[in-house]
Amino acid sequence: MELFRSANIDWLGKKWYFLGFSLIFSVAGLISIFFWHGIPTGVDFKGGTAITVQFDSAPHEDNIRKALAAANIKDATVQRISDVGGGALGNKEIISLPMSTAQDTAHDEGRSAVENALTAGYHDSGFTVQQVDIVGPTAGKQLTHEAELATLYSLLGMLIYLWFRFELIYGVAAVVAVFHDTLITIGFFSLTNQEITLTVVAAILTLVGYSMNDTIVVFDRIRENLALNRRDKLADLVNRSINQTLSRTVIASGLTFLTVLCLFVFGGEVLRGFSFALVVGIIIGTYSSIAVAAPMLVAYQDWRAKKAPAGKRVALPAAKVVRR
Amino acid sequence: MGKNLASRTGFIVAVLLIFTYGIFGIPHGGLKQSLENRINLGLDLKGGTHLVLQVHVAEAVNSSTDRDVQALNTALAATGGTAAKLDPAHPEVITISGGSPTQQSAIHEVLTGNEYAGYDVSSTGNGGYKMTLKLSEIRTIEERALDTSIDTIRERVNTLGVSEPVIEKYGLGDNEILVQLPGVSDPGRVENIIQSTAKLEIHAVVGSYGSEAEAQQANPAGIPADAELLKGSNGAGGPDQYYLLKRLAIVAGTDFRDAQPSTDENGRPDITFDLTTEAGERFYKYTDANKGTGQMAIVLDNQVREVAGIEGAIRDQGRITGGFSQDQAADLSLMLRTGSLPASISYLETRTVGPTLGAASIHQGVVASIAGLVVVLIFMLFYYKGAGINADLALILNLLILLGFMGFSGATLTLPGIAGVILTIGMGVDSNVLIFERIREELRLGKTAAAAVQDGFAHAWTTIFDTHVTTVVSAAILFLFGTGPVKGFAVTLTIGLIANIFTAVFVSRTIFDYLLSKKERGTAELSI
Interface test with A, best of B415, B459, B467, B498 (most A CBs within 10 A): B467
Does any CB of chain B come closer than 8 Å to the CB of residue A157?
yes
d(CA B44, CA B118): 46
d(CA B484, CA B42): 8
CB contact under 8 A, B474 and A205: yes
Alpha helices in B77-165 (DSSP H): 104-111, 135-158
Q: Is the pTM for the entire model greater than 0.90?
A: no
pLDDT of residue B195: 65
Work out whether strand B269-275 and strand B227-231 pair parallel, antiparallel, or are unpaired.
Answer: unpaired
Instruction: Count the neighbouring beta carbons within 10 Å of the beta carbon of residue B154.
Output: 17
All residues of chain B having their beta carbon less than 8 Å from the beta carbon of residue A143 are: 172, 483
Of A9, A42, A8, residue with least CA distance to A144: A42
Nearest to B349 among A130, A134, A262 (CB): A134
Residue A303 has pLDDT above 60, yes or no: yes
Q: What is the pLDDT of residues B353-391, one digit of tens each?
A: 888 888 888 888 888 889 999 999 999 999 998 889 989
Q: What are the extents of the domains in chain B?
A: 2-46+356-517, 62-138, 200-315
Residue A95 has pLDDT above 90, yes or no: no
Q: Which residues contact B14 (CB under 8 A, 6 or more apart)?
A: none
pLDDT of residue B297: 84
Interface test with B, best of A270, A272, A275, A323 (most B CBs within 10 A): A270
Q: Give the residue on B whose Cα is nearest the Cα of A107.
A: B347
Residue A67 and residue A117 in contact, taking contact as beta carbons nearer than 8 Å: yes
d(CA A39, CA A33): 5
pLDDT of residue A291: 92
Alpha helices in chain A (DSSP H): 15-35, 43-46, 61-70, 109-121, 137-165, 168-191, 198-228, 234-266, 272-288, 294-307
Q: What share of chain B is helix, strand, coil (3-state, %, to 5)?
A: 55, 20, 25
Q: What is the pLDDT of residues B41-72, one digit of tens each?
A: 888 888 888 888 888 888 788 878 877 887 78
Of A140, A123, A187, residue with least CA distance to A43: A140
CB contact under 8 A, A259 and B483: no
pLDDT of residue A187: 94
Q: What is the pLDDT of residues A217-271, one digit of tens each?
A: 999 999 889 888 777 888 899 999 999 999 999 999 999 999 899 888 888 777 7
Does any CB of chain B come closer than 8 Å to the CB of residue A191?
no
Domains and CATH numbers, chain A: 12-41+140-307 (1.20.1640.10), 48-135 (3.30.70.3220)
Smallest CA–CA separation between A252 and chain B, in Å? 5
How large is the average pLDDT for residues B133-152?
88
d(CA B201, CA B303): 10
Helix (H, G, I), strand (E, B) or coil at B233: coil
Q: What is the pLDDT of residues B396-406, one digit of tens each?
A: 999 989 988 88
Residue B237 has pLDDT above 70, yes or no: no
B21-34 CB burial, b ≥16 within 10 A, e <16: ebbbeeeeeeeeeb
d(CA B272, CA B330): 11
Which of these CATH numbers, 3.20.20.450, 3.90.1150.10, 3.40.1190.20, 1.20.1640.10, describes B2-46+356-517? 1.20.1640.10
Q: Does domain B200-315 have CATH number 3.30.1490.20?
A: no
pLDDT of residue A320: 63
How large is the average pLDDT for residues A104-128?
82
How large is the average pLDDT for residues B94-101?
81
The residue type found at A255 is L
User: Per mean pLDDT, which range of A149-163, B199-213, B232-246, B274-288 is the poorest?
Assistant: B232-246
Smallest CA–CA separation between B152 and chain A, in Å? 20
CB contact under 8 A, B354 and A128: yes
B332-369 CB burial, b ≥16 within 10 A, e <16: bbbbbbbbbbbbbbbbbbbbbbbeebbebbbebbebbb
